Chains A and B, each alone.
Chain A
Amino acid sequence: MLCNQSVGLIARYIEKSGISTVCTTFRKEITELSGAPRIISVKTSAGKPLGKPGDIKMQRRIIEAGFDLLQRNIDKMTIVAINK
């Protein structure tokens, strides 16, 4: 659970250092507290944030959602949910 806070805080301070970030989470309500600007919320769980082992399709889906979000002009925290 705490990883979802840590990942958001890391995104926040990496972003402050001048690098664009996209942050995945399986506990959106925790990660969004950090103010991380680009969040991909996924229905996965601890130990497999990008889906089951070998599920390359899901890995690509999550990563590409991140790439899409990175290319959007945002002016506030933006969260994209992947529901399956």
Chain B
Amino acid sequence: MINNLKITAALIRRSRPDFQFKAFNDSPITPLNKPLQECKLAIITTGGIHLKSDIPFYMKEPGGDCSYRTIPYDIEDNAFRVSHKWYNHKFINSDINCVFPIDRMREYARKGVIGALSEKHYSFMGHIYETGPLVKNVKKVGDRLKKLNVDIAFLTPT
């Protein structure tokens, strides 16, 4: 795996010579302090999803666009767009759930597997070289999720 990592980093440095992966030795842990059946869940994706009415993620930002978009829980299949040029959109355009599993989570909420689905979910465009602004915006999303009384965030890359 170390070799894979070195190869990947070398590939990224072709377009971004100063790039280094962010690495930490610790893991912050927030224990789940109640049963899953009582928890409110939000999805966070780095798939660059947004509503058609939103401003698209900006693909020409040198360090990567670190902003985020809010996705309502009742988003319909034909109401979203993807602004993310580093993956093939044919899969998500065929089934949003292979990136943003909103239908599955609605089912789990309906069946009582989880307590509730958040009214709001969040999307970033994950092709980011400069992560400082990302961290600042993630903290804002964390504050928003706390205000929504969300207990769990389920995250997907692309």
Contact = CB atoms under 8 A, between A and B. Distances in A.
Given A6-B124, A17-B146, A35 B158 contact: no
Contact of B29 (A1, A15, A47, A56): A15
Contact of B152 (A5, A13, A22, A56): A22
B110 to A, nearest CB: 14
Contacts, number: 209
Interface string A1-37: 1111111011111111111111111111111011111
Given A1-B12, A9-B135, A20-B32, A50 B97 contact: yes
A55 B143 CA distance: 34
B79 to A, nearest CB: 18
Nearest to B44: A10
Contact of B1 (A12, A29, A73, A74): A29
A34 B142 contact: no
A43 interface: no
Nearest to A13: B138
Nearest to A46: B87
Contact of B24 (A4, A33, A75): A33
A76 interface: yes
B143 A47 contact: no
A47 B158 contact: yes
Contact of A63 (B24, B134, B141, B154): B154
Interface residues of A, number: 58
B135 A13 contact: yes
Interface in B144-158: 145-146, 150-158
B27 A36 contact: yes
Q: Name the 10 nearest CB pairs between A and B, nearest first.
A: A17-B142, A3-B126, A53-B95, A6-B126, A53-B94, A35-B24, A29-B1, A3-B157, A7-B157, A47-B87
Interface of B: 1-2, 4-5, 8, 11-12, 21-32, 36, 44, 46-47, 64, 86-92, 94-95, 97-99, 101, 104-105, 108, 113-114, 124, 126-129, 131, 134-135, 138-139, 141-143, 145-146, 150-158
